Amino acid sequence: MKKAKVIRAVFLVLVILGIAVLSYRLSGQNKKQTQILTAYGNIDIRQIRLAFNATGRIKELLAQEGDKVKSGQLVARLDPVRYEAGLFQARAQAEAQREVLARLVAGSRPEEIAQARARVKASRATLTDAELTHRRIKKLALTRSTPQQNLDNAEAALKLARAMLDEARQALILAKKGPRDEDIRAARAQLEAYESALKLKEQEMADTSLYASDEGVIQDRILEPGDMASPQTPVYTLALTDPVWVRAYIPEPDLGKIAPGMKAEVTTDSFPENPYQGWIGYISPTAEFTPKQVETPELRTRLVYQVRIYVSNPRDQLRMGMPVTVTIPLSQSKNPGPQTNESRQGG
């Protein structure tokens, strides 16, 4: 009997110890769970619609649906014939005006000044001859040995010779002074206008090529070679695959536990063994009802706040609309971590 009582006492002690250990573990698990916030959402892929910044007929498309492209990669070209003609004309106008300005700035050449001096000498000789002729005819006219018409012609020739000499002298002065400052400034302004027009034509020519604005995957090829393109008509839809972001929803009581920049972990049903590292990029300032497509065990009728968690996708396994589970450790600091432009600008 004494031995049976001892066994029962030992058994009772072991039961009590087991209950204590189990209670301790359960309390630890509950405490650990309170340190983690769980949210549910879906993968969203950011998209860019690539369009030409020019109007024309598409000559060549260099990317297919599903192709991976890098930032700055050439993906399409327009027929450049019209733009090449305009560029050639603008270059010719600018070059011609450069020559005009260079001629004005250089001023008169020594040969031009020498030519002006020679014209002055020639005009002076013509004037001397006209003066001698006028004196002779005037003497004859006094004795009525020549008609009055000859005297009138001689006087007209003398006046013309004097005017030509004066014109030659003024031309020599202008040749020595060179072009006016006003003419040089006007020629320089005209050159600047032509150069601006040339830059515009060069940019229009560059706009006949379409480049990928970021790294991603061609999701849709909307137009084909031969189609007319314009800035209002996208040619491709580019999906930005890294980083992607999760659209999740947080209940109002948990809103104060998170902040932009906090780290998060994302898991999917497709790859449960591969968690993805991410960070909170944006928290909505307004509340909404939980969307029906979000798979959450909690009530769907209460108000929640949209949260965007940006996720690195190096293996390209995350797809548009894929349901995911987001876990956010609450023990971490709320100091901002890696953020996107969208998170800094408030979404």
User: pTM (2 decimals)?
Assistant: 0.61
The average pLDDT across 322-344 equals 69
Q: In this predicted model, what pLDDT tens digit does every residue of 122-176 receive, in sequence order?
A: 888 888 888 888 888 887 777 777 788 887 788 888 889 889 888 888 887 777 7
Can you spell out the DSSP letters for 118-182?
A: HHHHHHHHHHHHHHHHHHHHHHHHHTT-S-HHHHHHHHHHHHHHHHHHHHHHHHHHHHHH-S-HH
Residue 89 confidence (pLDDT): 95
Residue 103 confidence (pLDDT): 82
Q: In this predicted model, what pLDDT tens digit does every residue of 45-95 receive, in sequence order?
A: 788 999 999 999 999 999 999 899 999 999 999 999 999 999 999 999 999
Residue 294 confidence (pLDDT): 54
Res 298 pLDDT > 70: no
Where does the pLDDT of residue 341 fall: very low under 50, low under 70, confident under 90, or very high at 90 and above? very low
Distance between CA atoms of residues 312 and 266, nearest Å: 10
Q: In this predicted model, what pLDDT tens digit does every residue of 162-204 receive, in sequence order?
A: 898 888 888 877 777 667 788 888 999 999 999 999 999 999 9
Average model confidence (pLDDT) for the chain? Answer: 82
SS3 call for 51: coil
Res 33 pLDDT > 50: no
Where does the pLDDT of residue 119 fall: very low under 50, low under 70, confident under 90, or very high at 90 and above? confident
Q: Give every strand in the sheet of 74-78, ordered side by side.
A: 209-211, 74-78, 56-61, 228-229
The average pLDDT across 228-236 equals 95
Residue 225 confidence (pLDDT): 95
Q: Decide: residue 65, CB within 10 A, 0-12 exposed, 13-18 middle, 19+ buried.
A: exposed
Contact (Cβ atoms closer than 8 angstroms) between residue 111 and residue 131: no
The average pLDDT across 219-244 equals 92
Residue 42's region, left for phi above 0, alpha for psi from -120 to 50, else beta, is: beta
Q: Give the residue, 197 or 17, on which the prediction is more confident.
A: 197
The average pLDDT across 17-41 equals 66
Res 27 pLDDT > 60: no
pLDDT over 90 for what percent of the chain?
34
Residue 346 confidence (pLDDT): 38
What is the residue whose two structure tokens read 């109002």?
252
Residue 157 confidence (pLDDT): 87
Res 32 pLDDT > 50: no
Res 28 pLDDT > 70: no
The average pLDDT across 324-345 equals 66
Q: Which residue, among 134, 185, 139, has the nearest Cα to 160 in the 3D structure? A: 134
Q: Give the residue, 49 or 8, on which the prediction is more confident.
A: 49
Residues in CB range of 89: below 8 A, 6 or more apart: 201
Residue 347 confidence (pLDDT): 39
Q: In this predicted model, what pLDDT tens digit does every residue of 211-228 receive, in sequence order?
A: 999 988 999 999 999 999
Residue 23 confidence (pLDDT): 60
